[in-house]
Amino acid sequence: MAVKIRLTRFGRHKDPFFRVVAADSRFARDGRYIEQIGHYDPAKGVENAVIDEELALKWLEAGAVPSETVKAIFNRKGINAKYAESKKKAK
């Protein structure tokens, strides 16, 4: 099972709101997911995205692959740097 960390779309027409979730890559974009990691409102910007760092790091360490957009959000929040640092410590 290939797990991806990606966005699922919620919200009204022309007023999107996204949840950041860990989901099997075979599931539909807005379908079933394993666990919700956070949420992101593009109207408020990436700085106001809410991400549970512990869950995000747990899924990254388990081998989940973030989508390009989620990777950019993680970079802005510093989660990718923490993940890279934890990988260096493990070696």
Q: Which mean pLDDT values do the consecutive 10-residue runs of the chain (91 residues) have?
A: 92 94 93 94 92 95 94 94 88 70
pTM for this prediction: 0.88
Do β-strands 65-66 and 3-12 pair in parallel, antiparallel, or remain unpaired?
parallel
- The pLDDT assigned to 50 comes to 95
- The pLDDT assigned to 87 comes to 86
Closest CA to 83 of 5, 16, 9, 15: 5
Both structure tokens of 71 = 């990777």
Residue-range domains of the chain with CATH: 3-90 (3.30.1320.10)
Report which residue type is found at 6. Answer: R
